[in-house]
Amino acid sequence: MTAVELSEPTHPAVSRPTTGARAARVLQRQGALVILVIVVVSAKFGFDRFATTRNVTSIAEQASFLGFVALGMTFVILSGGIDLSVGSVFALGGVLAAWGSQHGTWLAVLLPIVVCSAIGLAQGLIIARGGLPPFIVTLAGLLFARGTVLAITDEGSTTYKVPTGSAFRDFAQGELLGVGYAVWIVVALFAVGGVVLHRTSYGSTVLAIGGQEDAAALMGLPVVRTKVVTYAMSGLLAGVGGMMIASYTSSGVTILGVGTELEVIAAVVLGGTLLTGGSGTVLGTVVGVLLLQVIKNVINQVGSLDSSWQAVVSGSILLAVVTVQRYLARIERQ
């Protein structure tokens, strides 16, 4: 095709943003990171025991369990949906793993993976094929999964224990370079997740669906398939997270995971991912998860404070961050 010659290029297509708007944009995306850095630095100087290797690895290990779930939730939210069932699926994964470990380590690993992915898959099908709103479907999934947990533990009265000396314990309790396996696994998964999001067509499709689903459908992108996969992955990762925590604590605690879905949503939102989807990073979620965990840890350090302060502070920070994000979005738009 011959190049078109014009006497001069037309005026720039972009209305150049003001410096203020540009700063607002950066802050909006990296806000949580800024707060994290501030909190960490203050904590380092405020508390003797904060910056110790032991404490840092503890933070990382505690955060890793939530991390699994948050990774899955990131993709769900990026696709414009939401998954309220992850807390219950997380608990289910733990219980299944603990029970399974009594019959073999392979079972302890496979059972949660299979069952939890199946639950995610079912939800994905209902949402993508049936066209039902994700909020409701995953709310039902939450109830269903929790019901299942109760059913297999005699209405919550049984707590399965992982047998001593079982290889299953090594999953989370084993260490590499002083840090638990769980941390390494979750870091690897996040790295893979980042690559998947930005460098595969699946990732592009997720972003396109979250950004403008009509356009994505019109362009012929595989919307249904992508959504189903996303919810299945969310279930899978929640199950894996639960499995990890069962390995860590050597038991399948049944009351776990209540409110986890909301905590995870908070982490994802804090990390700069738009709740409406279409824009966000996997790294942001990492920051969000760490931030929440660090807050919990710091409050623990204070010692004299009731652990309920964790909730107060976490909630307030979430509100503060989203408020600021909103303001910044408004400035940016003008």
Partner 1 sequence: MADAGPARVPTLEAIDEKFGPPEPTDQPSGYFRRMVDADWLRRNGVYATLALLIGVNVVITDNFVSSNTLRLQLVQVAPVLIVALGMALVIGTEGIDLSVGATIALAAAIIPLYIGYGAPGAIGLALFAGVVTGSVAGLLVAGIGVQPIVATLGIMVAGRGVANLLGGEIKSIRDPAIVSLGTDSVAGVPYVVVIAGAVSLVVWGVVRHSTYGRQLVAIGGNKRAAELAGLPVKRVLATTYVVSGVLAALAGVLLAARSRASDPTKIGLLMELAAITAVVVGGTPLSGGQVRIVGTIAGALLIQLIGATLIAHDIPDSTAQMVQAVIVVAAVYVQLGVRRANR
Partner 2 sequence: MSNSDTIVRTAHTATAVLETVGVDKSFGGVDAVRDVDFSLAAGEIRALVGENGAGKSTLVKVLTGVYPPDAGEIYFEGEPVTFSRPLDAQHVGISTVYQEVNLVPLLSVARNIFLGREPRGRLGLVDVDEMNDRARAITSRFAIDLDVTEELGRLGLGAQQMVALARAVSVESRVVIMDEPTSSLEAREVATLFEVARNLRDEGVGLVFVSHRLDELWQLCDSVTILRDGRNVHSGAMADLDRLTLVSMMLGRDVDEVVEHGATEFGDSHLQGRDPVLSVSDVEVRNRLHGVTFDVRPGEVVGLAGLLGSGRSETVKAVYGALHSQSGSVEVAGRRIKPNSVRGALRASVAMLSEDRKAEGIISDLSVRDNIALAVLSRCSRAGFVSESAIDRLVETFVRRLQIKVSSPRQKVRELSGGNQQKVLLARWLCTEPTVLLLDEPTRGIDVGAKSEVQALIDELAEQGLGVVLISSEMEELVEGADRIVVLRDGHVEGELDGATLSSSELLAALAGDIATADALAQEHADG
Pick from partner 1, partner 2, none: which does 70 bind, CB < 5 to 8 A by kind? Answer: none
What secondary structure letter does DSSP report for 96?
H
Distance in Å, CB of 327 to partner 2, minimum: 15
CB closer to partner 1, 60 vs 228: 228
> Which is closer to partner 1, CB of 88 or CB of 249?
88
State the minimum distance, in angstroms, from the CB of residue 58 to partner 1. Answer: 22
When computed from its CA atoms, the radius of gyration of the chain, rounded to whole angstroms, is 22
The pair of three-digit structure tokens given for residue 159, joined into one six-digit string: 């707590």
Residue with tokens 């095709």: 1
Would you tell me which residues interact with partner 2 (CB under 8 A)?
Answer: 1-4, 6, 9-15, 17, 195, 198-201, 204-205, 207-208, 210-212, 214-221, 278-279, 334
132 binds, among partner 1, partner 2, none (CB under 5 to 8 A by kind): partner 1
Minimum separation from the CB atom of position 231 to partner 2 (A): 21
Contact 134, 265 (CB under 8 A): no
| Count of C-beta atoms within a 10 Å radius of residue 312 | 12
In angstroms, the CA 79 to CA 206 distance is 5
State the binding partner of 236 from partner 1, partner 2, none, CB within 5 to 8 A by kind: none
Contact 66, 295 (CB under 8 A): no
Structure tokens that stand for 24 in this block: 């607002």
Nearer to partner 1, 106 or 135 (CB): 135
Which does residue 326 bind out of partner 2, partner 1, none, counting CB within 5 to 8 angstroms by kind?
Answer: partner 1
Amino acid in the structure at residue 60:
A
Could you say which of partner 1, partner 2, none residue 178 binds, taking C-beta under 5 to 8 angstroms by partner kind?
none
Residues that bind partner 1 (CB under 8 A): 82, 126, 128-133, 135-137, 139-144, 146-151, 155-156, 213-214, 217-218, 222-224, 258-259, 262-263, 265-266, 269, 275-276, 306, 308-316, 318-319, 322-323, 326-327, 330
Given partner 2, partner 1, none, residue 219, with its beta carbon under 5 to 8 Å by kind, binds partner 2
Measured CA distances, 52 to 48, 49, 57, 162, 223 (Å): 8, 6, 9, 30, 47
Looking from the CA of 307 toward its CB, the CA atoms found within 13 Å total 3
Burial class, 293, CB count within 10 angstroms (exposed 0-12 / middle 13-18 / buried 19+): buried
